[in-house]
A and B are shown apart, each in its own frame.
Chain A
């Protein structure tokens, strides 16, 4: 499965694909050279510092993620190719907000914070130090653990089609979204989809309220209306709505 990086400095021609300039100049041959979108098809497209991406490139991505297809109309080319991929972005919101339209394209949203537990911090420093001093040995030592996770995901992938969402869980999901006032119904759909994945990961055939609780902050925190006066981040608002709608 391809995992393609889209670096910040990328130019439009490398993203959408363009005329293969070398061939064109050498032999006058008109050949299309596919770009990053073509390479990412069927896999992942990762953008670090996605909030700093140039506006005209964001527009391009918005278009492609909506249609699942890259339409090229340039340099005498008129062609289209499928470009369906999982969009993964990371960035520090303090350096610039993501445009709401683009934010909406992400199914899940995760907030990463520095660990506050002392033992965790020591562990992080030690592992990173080991990694820096001998990468190969470090990777080797975690191989088994990684394989285990991979197998778990594989198993979940095969059974996800059979995971059932009971009506009462669906109702709770809708109620949660209504309480939070999330825009549209994309929130509900993503929430259910994520809860089903969580159940499959657990090897469960039924989605429960516990699964819903686990994934709600991921699926909903970026779908709430921003309120300048609200001191709390949106994750806290989701947590509050959870205790209201889905008491543990």
Chain B
């Protein structure tokens, strides 16, 4: 019955509730739920469907191509956000919405307006709406946390309960503004939110609003304890990240409990509180705590009891999204050109190019000849320039010298394997270079076949001197080749930085070091992204120095556990 009540409350005041996240598969239950909800909105309320792939033009508005060409005057076209003012937007596949669209939605939800600074137009457009986000994501994917935080209700499955009637909703809408709440009730609500580890103040405000709507729906002018419980159940329970300690065990718990749960899982505006004090709800709030506890979905409750983080933001998962934004071109101005090969017309720039020539062109026409309002010529055409995300090729440069073989080659191999998994997820290419004895060798040119990289790596022998300069130079050459193909190279060095073979393959420690530094600085000048993983048993100043010369991030292997390592490489990869 929670989905039905959430939908009813949302229908009372869609705009101030921000929205409703409905996590459900496509199906008749979902469609029925949506049409029931739509029926509760007042006549003439704008209701728009938004696909996850919506373009910025359509979302924010821009120039109307047809009307502009027909009239010869710039004609503005409203975007979806502006069209939906005062209404509801239904976003399908909300888990796939791009980061930019999320940011636009969040800004509009926060300010209720849209500032247009596009294609010669400047306007502040009202854009107050409620958002129904249909989330079909699997466990590890999900809606962006920033957007989720701005939606009051998080509903899991639509249920078959009927929603409130149209007249009830109508009555509640009128009553809503006059519903009073006791300040002590606000204190209770905030303390209950804190007890369940809910950091966002928005959640409390939504719960407050839900309590008011609940009272209004029941025809009351004062929020009751039951209204508060319902509000806590609907708004707070789905956001819980921890369970409140029972009052009698509080003292003990406080001592043992590690601070909330893993902070690295959180977004920065969702930090857990180390302050254990918040675990003690206000007196009089127990019934609300019980209501929230009872409303926790079974799986969420299990996770909380087990101490698992309840919510994982999609910032680490959501590989689909990442991949998609990676491949999609971003706008970067326009240039003169022809409309062929799928190029998109930059209308405004085309008009700008054509405008100064209009008077002359009209003069050149035969006297009295009929002509369209705008005389366009082929040379006026401007097409949109998109920056295509380039492919990334990760080059692994492995030091297989004697000093390495002694301690760390095995571990370095293991680390490469981990990073390969990352490349695989991103559909990136990988290449392998090793250096030992008197030479550096290209074991594998850039390939998508990561299995080959793994095989080469397994067969990689160790021993001999360390021709560091040769390894660096070869890596630099390969990076250059990759760059010329239009792709982006990323270098990952595995070495302890102890050079003892020179650039010409002669054993001479002092010269070898000088050569290595010189090669490193040359590589740095090319601006290639580098990561240096120090494979010595203890972090070495020499390796750190080499990383500086390379302009590389430095990461010592002893501390470089799997997760950190791949996080570090990920950070180096172009987004």
- Separation in Å of the A93 CB from the closest CB of chain B? 7
B332 in contact (CB, < 8 A): yes
B201 in contact (CB, < 8 A): yes
Decide: B99 and A125 in contact? CB cutoff 8 A: no
Give the docked Cα–Cα distance between A188 and B358 (Å): 56
Give the docked Cα–Cα distance between A237 and B392 (Å): 33
0 or 1 for each of B307-328: is its CB under 8 Å from A? (1 = yes): 0000001010000000000000
Decide: A93 and B268 in contact? CB cutoff 8 A: yes
- Separation in Å of the A51 CB from the closest CB of chain B? 10
Contacts of B506 in A (CB 8 A): none
B210 in contact (CB, < 8 A): no
Contacts of A76 in B (CB 8 A): 356
A79 in contact (CB, < 8 A): no
Contacts of A124 in B (CB 8 A): 201
A6-B117, A126-B186 known; A56 vs B199 contact (CB < 8 Å): no
Decide: B103 and A28 in contact? CB cutoff 8 A: no
Decide: B118 and A10 in contact? CB cutoff 8 A: yes
Decide: A94 and B268 in contact? CB cutoff 8 A: yes
A49-B103, A228-B568 known; A15 vs B117 contact (CB < 8 Å): yes
Contacts of B103 in A (CB 8 A): 8, 48-49, 52, 95
Looking at B240-248, B395-403, B552-560, the stretch in contact with chain A turns out to be: B552-560
Decide: A125 and B204 in contact? CB cutoff 8 A: yes
B267 in contact (CB, < 8 A): yes
Partner of A13 from B119, B205, B555 at Cβ < 8 Å: B119
- Separation in Å of the A77 CB from the closest CB of chain B? 10
Give the docked Cα–Cα distance between A243 and B542 (Å): 29
A22-B73, A55-B387, A114-B269 known; A10 vs B278 contact (CB < 8 Å): no
A178 in contact (CB, < 8 A): no
B374 in contact (CB, < 8 A): yes
Decide: A116 and B274 in contact? CB cutoff 8 A: yes
Decide: B194 and A118 in contact? CB cutoff 8 A: yes
Contacts of B73 in A (CB 8 A): 22, 25-26
Give the docked Cα–Cα distance between A116 and B275 (Å): 7
Closest Cβ neighbor of B189 among chain A residues:
A125
A149 in contact (CB, < 8 A): no
Contacts of A52 in B (CB 8 A): 99-100, 103
Tell me how many residues of B have a C-beta within 8 Å of chain A.
76
Decide: B200 and A229 in contact? CB cutoff 8 A: no
A183 in contact (CB, < 8 A): no
Contacts of B56 in A (CB 8 A): 9
A122-B186, A122-B190 known; A18 vs B352 contact (CB < 8 Å): yes
- Separation in Å of the A193 CB from the closest CB of chain B? 27
Contacts of A8 in B (CB 8 A): 100, 103-104, 107
B418 in contact (CB, < 8 A): no
Give the docked Cα–Cα distance between A122 and B205 (Å): 10
A19-B355, A75-B353, A117-B275 known; A94 vs B107 contact (CB < 8 Å): no
Contacts of A11 in B (CB 8 A): 117-119, 331, 348
Decide: B201 and A125 in contact? CB cutoff 8 A: yes
Give the docked Cα–Cα distance between A26 and B358 (Å): 9
- Separation in Å of the B317 CB from the closest CB of chain A? 13
Contacts of A92 in B (CB 8 A): 146, 267-269
0 or 1 for each of A1-43: is its CB under 8 Å from B? (1 = yes): 0000111111111110011111011101010010110000000
B74 in contact (CB, < 8 A): yes
A140 in contact (CB, < 8 A): no
- Separation in Å of the B113 CB from the closest CB of chain A? 10
A112 in contact (CB, < 8 A): yes
Closest Cβ neighbor of B277 among chain A residues:
A118
- Separation in Å of the A132 CB from the closest CB of chain B? 7
- Separation in Å of the B360 CB from the closest CB of chain A? 8
Give the docked Cα–Cα distance between A192 and B247 (Å): 50
B333 in contact (CB, < 8 A): yes
Partner of A9 from B118, B205, B315, B556 at Cβ < 8 Å: B118
Give the docked Cα–Cα distance between A75 and B208 (Å): 54
- Separation in Å of the A241 CB from the closest CB of chain B? 19
Closest Cβ neighbor of A122 among chain B residues:
B190
Contacts of B144 in A (CB 8 A): 95
Contacts of B374 in A (CB 8 A): 25
A96 in contact (CB, < 8 A): yes
Partner of A114 from B201, B277, B556 at Cβ < 8 Å: B201
- Separation in Å of the B570 CB from the closest CB of chain A? 10
- Separation in Å of the A91 CB from the closest CB of chain B? 9
Give the docked Cα–Cα distance between A124 and B554 (Å): 42
B191 in contact (CB, < 8 A): yes
Decide: B122 and A118 in contact? CB cutoff 8 A: no
- Separation in Å of the B116 CB from the closest CB of chain A? 8
Decide: A113 and B271 in contact? CB cutoff 8 A: yes
Contacts of B315 in A (CB 8 A): 94-95
A9-B60, A11-B117, A116-B274 known; A96 vs B575 contact (CB < 8 Å): yes
Contacts of B194 in A (CB 8 A): 118, 121
Closest Cβ neighbor of B349 among chain A residues:
A13
Contact surface of A with B, Cβ cutoff 8 Å:
5-15, 18-22, 24-26, 28, 30, 33, 35-36, 48-49, 52, 54-56, 75-76, 92-97, 111-118, 121-122, 124-126, 128-129, 132-133, 226-229
The contact sample of 25 A-B pairs, CB cut-off 8 A, is: A7-B115, A8-B107, A9-B100, A9-B118, A11-B348, A19-B355, A21-B74, A21-B352, A25-B73, A25-B74, A25-B351, A49-B107, A54-B332, A56-B332, A94-B268, A94-B313, A95-B144, A96-B575, A115-B201, A116-B271, A118-B277, A124-B201, A125-B186, A228-B553, A229-B555
The 3 closest A-B pairs by CB, nearest first: A24-B355, A10-B117, A14-B117
Known: A92-B267, A95-B315, A122-B187. 17 other contacts (CB 8 A): A8-B100, A8-B107, A9-B60, A10-B117, A14-B118, A21-B352, A24-B358, A35-B117, A52-B100, A56-B333, A92-B268, A97-B571, A115-B201, A121-B204, A125-B201, A129-B186, A227-B554
